[in-house]
Structure formats: structure tokens, C-alpha cells
Amino acid sequence: MFPECVDVHGKRFCRVITAEEVASRVREMAERMNRELRDKNPLFLAVLNGSFFFAADLMRHLDFLCEISFVKLASYQGTSSVGRIRELIGLNESLRGRFVVILEDIVDSGLTITYLQEKLAEYSPEEVRVATLLLKREALQRPVEIDYVGFEVPNIFLLGYGLDYDQLGRNLPGIYALSESDNASS
């Protein structure tokens, strides 16, 4: 069992959402999808790495047949001032005419999800919905419509249940937040 607070790379994180609370919210999200998506033949697209727990736990509660696939965003520094250049990798399925549900661990600035929505639109899906376990609404840099939100969370760096801090902490069973003194100094 993990204690209530853990130190990762010299920073302190303390639990803000328990594993039980996450599990029960994920089940509720799945139950809503069972009602709304049953007849849509949806293709779930989980965004790696962070969404692997969320995707797996959510899928376990879906009671109709559906597909899941995994994509990843590779990012690297561009040489121009345009900044971060990203590339969507791992998309093998044809999205034409499909009902797609993106599964994200967390939406922060909203830039990633906006990029994904624009990218997927190029493949002519019927509809693209977004489900995220966590939403930092205050951090959004642009309006983003999220169809399924697990928890709205404050604009603090979070860890656990798939989320990492420099690759560590993904296996923490609940959600942990950077403790306030550390958050202010970073």
C-alpha cells in the first residue's frame, strides 16, 4: 500500500482522490456510455501513455461490444519559433464514418486535445467525442468541449493512476497532488 504522501524526484505529492473514488467515478462514466453509445459502434482511442489505467478500467464496465485502439503523440522541439512539433502515431484503423471516443487521462491547457481533434477530423469520422478522467478547467487556453469528465481538478500538478512526474508515479492507485509549497516554487 502507498502512504498518503509520497516523494517523487525530490517533490512531495499527497493523495487528493482515493483509488476507490476513481473506481466509482470511472464506473459511472462507463454506465453513461452504456446508455449513450451502445448503438454507435464506437471506436475508443486511448492516448498513451497516461490513459492506460483509465482506458482499461472504463472498458471493463462497458457492456456492449466495442473496439479500442491506442495512439501516442510524439513531440520534439522544432527549430523554428513555432515551438513544439507533434506527430500522431499508432493510428491504424480507418476512421472514415466512425464514431470515435478519445480517452485522455487529463486535459490541462487543452492544446493536446485540440490538436488531436483537428488531426482526427482529417480522417472524416462521423463524430469525435472526448472523455477525460481529469479536467483542469482553469488551465484551459482555449474553449474545448469535453463530453465525459471524471473530475474537475484545480490547476495543480497531479500524479498517479497513469499520470507521471518524469516517468515515475504512474502506478499510484489514486490521484496525488504536488504539495502546495512545491507547487508554488515550481
Cell of 149: 469528465
Q: How many residues bind Mg ion (CB under 5 A)?
A: 2
Residue 65 CB-density burial (10 A; 0-12 exposed, 13-18 middle, 19+ buried): exposed
Q: How far is the CB of 104 from Mg ion (least distance, A)?
A: 6
Alpha carbon distance 6, 176 (integer Å)? 9
Alpha carbon distance 104, 29 (integer Å)? 13
Binding part of the chain for Mg ion, among 31-39, 59-67, 103-111, 121-129 by CB under 5 A, reads: 103-111
Alpha carbon distance 77, 143 (integer Å)? 25
Q: How far is the CB of 74 from Mg ion (least distance, A)?
A: 13
Catalytic positions are 108
Q: How far is the CB of 6 from ligand IMP (least distance, A)?
A: 14
Residues between 88 and 127 with contacts to ligand IMP, criterion CB under 6 A: 104-113
Alpha carbon distance 31, 58 (integer Å)? 9
Residue 150 sits in the site that holds Mg ion (CB under 5 A): no
- Out of 26, 29, 50, 100, the residue judged to bind ligand IMP by CB under 6 A: 50
Binding part of the chain for Mg ion, among 4-12, 19-27, 46-54, 94-102 by CB under 5 A, reads: 46-54
Instruction: Give, in order, the Cα–Cα distances in Å from 17 to each of 35, 149, 164.
Output: 26, 15, 15
Binding track over 51-90 against ligand IMP, x by CB under 6 A: ----------------------------------------
Beta 11-17 vs 175-178: how paired, if at all?
antiparallel
In the complex, which residues of this chain contact ligand IMP (CB under 6 A)?
50, 104-113, 157-158, 163
